[in-house]
């Protein structure tokens, strides 16, 4: 059974760096073709893909946020970490991680998400 | 970057058929995935690769994709189908993932 869970601060101040951790079980990021992505959703708005890391440590970032994002993995801990620099109130959103199964390009399992509010 | 356009809302009576469109340039050449998101919940994959259903998804959910439009069809709509629906593709030209703007389905 695949599960994912996001953890991190619920409140950050403007200009601070956000660090979120996705802890997963039921699959390995050593398995060929597997990926873990981050997606966010501002309150009342649409889903927005942020970043994805593959089993081979290949990484992809949203072009509009690429300069602010870093995604890394720790396969020994079954974790994926996303950092976003220079946070702004418009970055207030629910941040979710999701499993990307090989050989597909869809997200078949999602975490429940964590709401991050950016406010001074 | 690649843009996916969905109608903001679709209303349908119980027992009828709801069709949700997802427009994109030559989207018929891409694999389209659809997610259902009920209020306060995480998205659930309901259709992948244009028309395949994950295990546990009712046959009432089906998908098609051709030209510049992909469509998610919900047959025999039930009150429990009321949710936001999002399409998603992987844009091979940029190697990025893209979500549509979302469609709110209201069951009358």
Q: Is omega for the bond preceding A103 within 30 degrees of 0, making it cis? A: yes
> Residue A52 is nearest to which of B31, B43, B97, comparing CB atoms?
B97
**Which of A47, A100, A104 is the best substitution to test chain B (most B C-beta atoms within 10 A)?**
A47
| pLDDT for position B28 | 97
Q: Looking at beta carbons, which residues of chain B come within 8 Å of A63?
A: 1, 94, 96
Q: How far is A105 from chain B (nearest CA, A)?
A: 6
Helix, strand, coil fractions of chain B, as percent rounded to 5 = 5, 50, 45
Q: State whether B96 and A62 contact (CB < 8 Å).
A: yes
Distance set, CA A38 to CA A32, A96, B27, B51 (Å) = 19, 6, 23, 24
Q: Are the Cβ atoms of A63 and B35 closer than 8 angstroms?
A: no
Q: CA separation (Å) from B90 to A47, A71, B30, B49?
A: 14, 19, 7, 11
Give B30's DSSP letter. Answer: S
Quote the pLDDT of residue A61. Answer: 96
Among candidate residues A110, A97, A103, A96, the one with its CA nearest the CA of residue A34: A103
Confidence of residue A4 (pLDDT cuts 50, 70, 90): very high
Residues from chain A that touch B1, judged by Cβ atoms under 8 A, are 63-64
Q: Token pair of A73, please?
A: 């993995």
B98 touches chain A (CB under 8 A): yes
Q: B27-80, pLDDT tens digit by residue?
A: 999 999 999 999 999 999 999 999 999 999 999 999 999 999 999 999 999 999
The helix/strand/coil state of A94 is strand
């Amino acid at each position: 059974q695949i599960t994912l869970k996001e953890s991190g601060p619920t409140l950050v101040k403007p200009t601070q760096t956000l660090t979120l951790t996705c802890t997963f079980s039921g699959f390995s990021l050593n398995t060929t073709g597997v990926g873990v992505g981050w997606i966010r959703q501002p309150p009342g708005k649409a889903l927005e893909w942020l970043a994805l890391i593959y089993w081979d440590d290949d990484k992809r970032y949203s072009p509009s946020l690429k300069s602010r994002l870093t995604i890394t993995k720790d396969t020994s801990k079954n974790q994926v970490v996303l950092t976003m620099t220079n946070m702004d109130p418009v970055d207030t959103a629910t941040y979710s991680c999701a499993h990307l199964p090989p050989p597909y390009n869809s997200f078949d399992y999602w975490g429940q998400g964590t709401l991050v509010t950016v406010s001074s | 970057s690649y843009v996916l356009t969905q109608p903001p809302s679709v209303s349908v009576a119980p027992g009828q058929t709801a069709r949700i469109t997802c427009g994109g340039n030559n989207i018929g050449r891409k694999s389209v995935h659809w997610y259902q998101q009920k209020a306060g919940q995480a998205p659930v994959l309901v259709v992948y690769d244009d028309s395949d259903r994950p295990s546990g998804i009712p046959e009432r959910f089906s998908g098609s994709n051709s030209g510049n439009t992909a469509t998610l069809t919900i047959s025999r709509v039930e009150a429990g189908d009321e949710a936001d629906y999002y399409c998603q593709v992987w844009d091979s030209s940029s190697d990025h993932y893209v979500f549509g703007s979302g469609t709110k389905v209201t069951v009358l």
